[in-house]
Structure 1
Amino acid sequence: MSGAAILTSKNADVVIVGGGVIGCSIAYQLAKQGIMATVLERGRFGSGASGATAGVIGPLWHLDPAHKAAFGLGIRSLDLFPRLASELAEAGVDPEFQHRGILKVAFTPAQVDELKQNLTWQGELGLGVRWLDAPEIRELEPEVGDGLLGGVFSPREGCINGQRLVDALVHAATGLGAVFLEETEVIGLETSGQNVVGVRTLTGSYQCGHTVLAAGPWTGIPGRWLPQALPITPVKGQRILLRKPGFLPKCPVRSFEGYVVPQADGSLLVAATREEGVFDVRITADAIRQLVATAIGLFPALEDASFVGARAGVRPGSPDGIPIMGPLPGWDGVSIACGHDHVGVMLSPGSAELAARYVLDGDPRPLEAFSISRFDAPASQ
C-alpha cells in the first residue's frame, strides 16, 4: 500500500530504513519481542536484490570458514530456517522453503580436486556432506551433462523464494503489530547533537527511539545519512527463469559457473551474474547469454526450455565481503545492518536475531566481528 495514503502516525518505537529481506527480518524479530517497528521502503518490498536472489541457503559454498563469525552466522541461519519457514507459513504466507540439499558438480579434474579439498573441512561439520561419484549423481539427476566426474551433496542446505520470504515476513510481522510503508523514501536522519532521533521522508518525519539502516546499496549513498561515509558499494546481479514441462531437479544444482534452482511453480531459476560497482537494474543480453549457457552446461536438455523472464537487483557490498552490523561510532540511537552482498537471504535469520537483540539490549559485543569500526583498524605490519 502507498505510504502517502496511510501516513497517520509519525512516532515509532523503531524505524527500519529499507524493506528488503534484512529490514523485514529485523522487524519480524522485534515484533516477536513486542517492539513495534515501522519499516520504510523507497519502492516495493523485496523489489531489490531480495526479490532477485537465487534464494540458495548454502553457507558451506558461500562463506569462508576462516572467518569464524560470518561462517557461524551462516550455520546459525541454516539452523533457524526450517522453524522460521514453518512460522511464516502458519501465519499465512508460505515462503516456499525447500529443504532438499544442494548438489555441486565437477566437470574437470581441477574442479574435482577443489571439491575434495573443501570436503575435508565440510565433512567435519556433522552436516552429512559427502562425495558422490558420477553414477551416483546420475541416479539423483539423470539429466546432468556429459563429462560429469563427480560432486558433493550437502543434504542440510536448501533454497527459498526470496520474494515470497519478504512477503511472508511483512505479513507475519504486520499481524504482530509492525507497520510497513512502501513508496516512502527516507531522505535523511533527524539528529539532536550526537543522537539520531528519527528520519525524514518526502512527506514528513518519524520520531523514534532507534533507527536501523538496512537500505541495501542505498545505505552507501554519500551524505544521505551521517557526515561519515558508510562503506557500502553496489553489486548488480541478474538471474533468469526457464521452464521445461516435466523437467525439475530434485534440489539446487551448482556448477562452477552458476546454479539451476527448482521453483515451487515448476520453473527453473538460473543464477547469477555479478557486476561490481554497477547501480542499475537493466536486464542485459549478455547476462541472459551467460545464464542460458550455465543452464545448458549443467543440463543439456534445457536447450529447448522456454524463457519465462529475467530480473536484476543491486546487492550491498562491503570492502571485505563481510556484513556490517551494529552501532555507528560517535552516534546514539542508530545502527546499521547491511553489506550482506549475495548472502543476504542466506544470512537473514541470524542477522535479524543479532540486530534485534542489539536494539533491545544495546550490547554491541555479539556484533563486534561485524562492526564498521574494523575498517578503521591500522593495517598489520
Structure 2
Amino acid sequence: MGLITNILTEEFVSHTTDVAIIGGGVIGCSIAYQLSKKGIKSTVFEKNKLASGASGATAGIIGPIWYLDHTIKPYFDMGMRSLEIFPSFVEELKEAGIDPEFQQNGGMKIVLDEDTNTLLRDNLQWQKELGIGVRWIDKLELLEREPEITDRAEGGVFSPQDASIKGAAYTNSLAHASTRLGTTYLEGLEVTGLETHRDTVIGVKTQSGTFHANHTIIAAGAWSGISRRWFSSSIPIRPIKGQRIILRKQGFLPKCTVQSIVPQTDGSILSAATREEGVFNHTITGEAISQMVSAAKMIFPTLNDAEFVSAKAGVRPGSPDGMPILGPIPEWLGVSIASGHDHVGMICSPATAELVSEYVATGNTSGLEPFSITRFETGTSRRAKSLFTNEKYNR
C-alpha cells in the first residue's frame, strides 16, 4: 500500500498536492520526475532558483568507482545502478525538450608519484574482481589519449564507463520533463515550517500560506539540517562548501575527464573542487581559485595561458558517516528525508529517485533501510571512505 492515501480530510481542499518536495536541487527534482512517471503529482518548493545551490556548482563527474566506498555494498550499488540507468534516463529528458549535457567519454586517474601508483594499482584489483571494465594504461597510451598531459604522468587507470553531466542543465531538464507530467515548481517560495496534525505531517507552511500534502519530502540539500527544529529527533546534516572554476583554451579540450578536470560540451574546461567542512556560504575565494588553477595547470601545462571564465561555489549536504539519509523520519507519519549525499548527489540521483519514489508509491522501505536516519540512533553506521577525499589521488 502506498503513502498517497486519504491522509487529508475534506476541510483541506485548497492548495493540495499529492507530495510536497522541499528543495529544487537535483535530488528533489529527480524524485519529482520519478513520481510524475508513476502518476503521482508533486509540488516542489525552492526558496531561490532551481539548481541555485550545490546542484549548480557541481563538477558533474559520474564516476562511482572513484567516489563511493565499495566495501559498503548498498551505497556502492546505488552509484553503480545510477551509472547503469543514466544513459536511458538522459534520453528521456532530451526527448522532453532540454539536453542535460551528459557525456560518457570515460575518465582517467593518473600516476603522479609512487603513492598514487600504489593506490591506483590496489584499487584496480578490486575493481577487476567486481567485473568493472577498467584497465591500466601505460605512459605511451596515456600520451596518445591526452598529448598535452604533464610529463610527470607515468600511466594510470582508464574507466570507459565514466561520464559527466552539467548540473544546472540536468536539474532543469528534470524539472521540465516532470512539469509536462503534472509537477508544479514554485521558485522563490521558502518553506517556513510543517503543518501537522497529531503525529502526522499534512503539509508545508510558506510565506504564501499552507499547502496540504499526503506526503512531504525534505530534499533541501545542506538546508535539510535546518528542519531539525521541526522534529524532536535530530537531522544530522552538516554543510560542506565546494568551489569550482571554468577555464577556456583555444584549440585544446581534454578527450575525457582526467582527475577532476572535466571537458564541457561548449568547449570550456571545468576544474574542481575544494572541500571546506562546516562552511555555509557561497563566497568565491582567491585562495580556492589559485588552488584549482594550479591543479589544472599541473595536469595540463598548456592551460598556463588559459582564459579564466568563471567560478562558482555551492554548499553540499554531509552526514556523519558520509552516506545519504533516505526514508521516514522516526515518530512522524507523512514525511521523509532525502539528503546527505555530499559530493555524490549527481552520481546517485537516479537511483535515489527510484528508491524514494517507490517508497512513496508503495510504502516499501526495504531498499531504503541501509540509508535510514535510525542508523545514527543504533550506532550501526560506519564511515564511508572516498577516493575523492585523498589529496594525492586528485591533485
Alignment TM class, shorter chain as reference: over 0.9
Matches of 1:49 and 1:97 in 2, distance apart?
A: 18
Whether the aligned pair in 2 keeps the contact of 1:279 and 1:314 (CA below 8 Å) is: yes
2:130 is aligned to 125
2:230 alignment partner, SS class? coil
Q: Which amino acid aligns with 1:320?
A: D
Report the alpha carbon displacement of residue 106 of structure 1 after superposing the two structures with TM. 1.2
Report the alpha carbon displacement of residue 36 of structure 1 after superposing the two structures with TM. 0.6
2:391 is aligned to none
1:344 is aligned to 345
1:149 is aligned to 154
1:291 aligns with 2:292: yes
Structure 1 unmatched runs, 5+: 1-7
Residues 363/379 of structure 1: CA separation in 2 closer, same or farther (3 Å cut): closer
Residues 93/232 of structure 1: CA separation in 2 closer, same or farther (3 Å cut): same
Matches of 1:165 and 1:52 in 2, distance apart?
A: 12
1:324 aligns with 2:325: yes
1:187 is aligned to 192
Say which is worse superposed, 290-299 or 124-133, in terms of deviation. Answer: 124-133
Matches of 1:109 and 1:48 in 2, distance apart?
A: 37
Whether the aligned pair in 2 keeps the contact of 1:127 and 1:155 (CA below 8 Å) is: no
The within-5 A match list for 1:1-381 is 10-221=15-226, 223-254=228-259, 259-378=260-379
1:221 alignment partner, SS class? helix
Q: Which amino acid aligns with 1:210?
A: H
Q: Which amino acid aligns with 1:230?
A: I
Residues 102/379 of structure 1: CA separation in 2 closer, same or farther (3 Å cut): closer
Percent identity, aligned pairs only?
56
Structure 2 unmatched runs, 5+: 1-12, 382-395
Matches of 1:133 and 1:185 in 2, distance apart?
A: 53
1:301 alignment partner, SS class? helix
Matches of 2:105 and 2:220 in 1, distance apart?
A: 31
2:274 alignment partner, SS class? coil
Residues 219/272 of structure 1: CA separation in 2 closer, same or farther (3 Å cut): same
1:50 alignment partner, SS class? helix
Matches of 1:208 and 1:222 in 2, distance apart?
A: 17
**TM-score with structure 2 setting the length:** 0.92
Whether the aligned pair in 1 keeps the contact of 2:233 and 2:330 (CA below 8 Å) is: no
- Flag as ranges the 4+ runs of structure 1 deviating above 2 A: 124-127, 222-225
When the two chains are superposed, the root-mean-square deviation of aligned CA atoms in Å is 1.2
